[in-house]
Structure formats: C-alpha cells, structure tokens
Structure 1
Amino acid sequence: MATWDLSQTKYHVLFCNGSSCNKLGAEEVTQAIRHEITKRNLDTLIHTTRTRCNGRCVDRCVAVVYPSGNWYKGLVSEDASAFVNSLVLNRDLTEKISHTYTGEVFSREEGISKGISKDPEKVKKVSK
C-alpha cells in the first residue's frame, strides 16, 4: 500500500463510487479528473480518494472537496477540465454544487432535494 506525502496537498477530493453513482459513470468521472490532475502535474496539490456510497444518490455522480466542504452533483467525464480549473483558480464550479459548508452546517443549494432524516426518531416516524 502507498503512503502519500500530503505535506503540499491543498485539496482532497472524495469521489463517490457507490452503486448508484457507478451506474451513471462514477468510475469514468474519477479517472477523467485524475487524468486531468496528472496531465497538469497537480498530483502534489490535489489528492483524490474513491469512496463507497456518500448517501446522496439523487445527486449522482457526487464528489466532495475539502477543505471547502463543497459537495458536487451531476458530474460527468466532460467536467474534468472545468472541475480541476475550479480548484486551481479557487473558484467554485457553482452550477455543480449541491451543498456548501457554512462553518457550522451544510447548506443546500436551491432546488436540491433535502433527503431523508438521519435522526433515528424521525426515521421511525416516517417508516410507520
């Protein structure tokens, strides 16, 4: 297993590769963005991780960027260049953002599905 030196890393991108995202091309999105990062020699600046389901299947294909905490939705392979540009230029790819971290909670962009509650009490009420 590799142990990466993250001392120069500015961004960490988490790509959802759960089953819903994979059905719409998450692996292709992951590889296209990784290719763009490598092509621009940005591997030390941008670290990527493939994850399992991130729980926002309605927004597939999903990526989460830290430290900003932005959640991206509807990514396709053709977004690779614009996505990497947004990181390098420190400008959000706003048309693809579903949630933004406010410093306290994640706020949802207008028109984005709220989703179901993770509160066990509320889930019990819904399932009855």
Structure 2
Amino acid sequence: MFISYPDYEELYRAPRYSITVNTAEKRMTLYRDGKVFKTYPIAIGKPSTPTPKGTFKIINKAVNPGGPFGARWMGLNAPNGDYGIHGTNNPSSIGKAVSNGCIRTYNNNVIEIFNLVPIGTIVTIV
C-alpha cells in the first residue's frame, strides 16, 4: 500500500505547541496541536513588578542559566524588560506572586517544557 503525499506529510509533522499563562489562577497550560497537553503550577510577578499580559514568542533558551532561574530559561519577546519562563531555586515560591515579572515553575516542569517547545513557540499571558 502506498501513502499519498499529504498523509506522509502529516505522519512526520512535528507537533505544534503553544502556552497559555493564567496569572489569576497561577497556572500555565501547554497545548499540543491545539489540545491541552499538560498544566503546571507557577509563580508570577509581584504587584510592584507584574507579569506582562499579551501574546509573545519564546526567543531564546538556556540550560542551567544560573542564579535564581533554576534549571532552564525560555526568554520572551515581551516589551520593557527581560521576561521569561524559568525554573526556580526557591520551590516554595510556586503558587505565589513574588517574581520580578517572570513566570516560575518547578525545575522538573521547566525541563519538560524546555525539551518539548521550540524557539518561536507562542506564549499568551492573561
């Protein structure tokens, strides 16, 4: 049996991911091909340095960035500063509004997301 070209293309197409960050719920949802794939608890910006709202893209990634950023960093093209999704060296901060605007999650979660999503992935923060 032969596979037609469109079916072959679909068979080998990489999944498309997107991320939605819900600051009110302090939850981050990873979508795969438009369907909920996994949800993660997060920390967000404190009132004096809130997490920016809008639609952004992941523009860079780093392994073991050092400092408070935990195991991985995924930088966003957010205006007025360097914002990103990263791990944390303070896991007790997850679920709170304590960051300088970044989105924090547990290191095992950020490693999982980092390994799945490419640069260019859309991140919507509401």
Same fold, TM exceeding 0.5? Answer: no
TM-score, length of structure 2 as denominator length = 0.26
More helix by share: 1
Structure with bigger RCO (C-alpha 8 Å, 6+ apart)? 2
Query: What's the TM-score once normalised by structure 1's chain length?
Result: 0.25
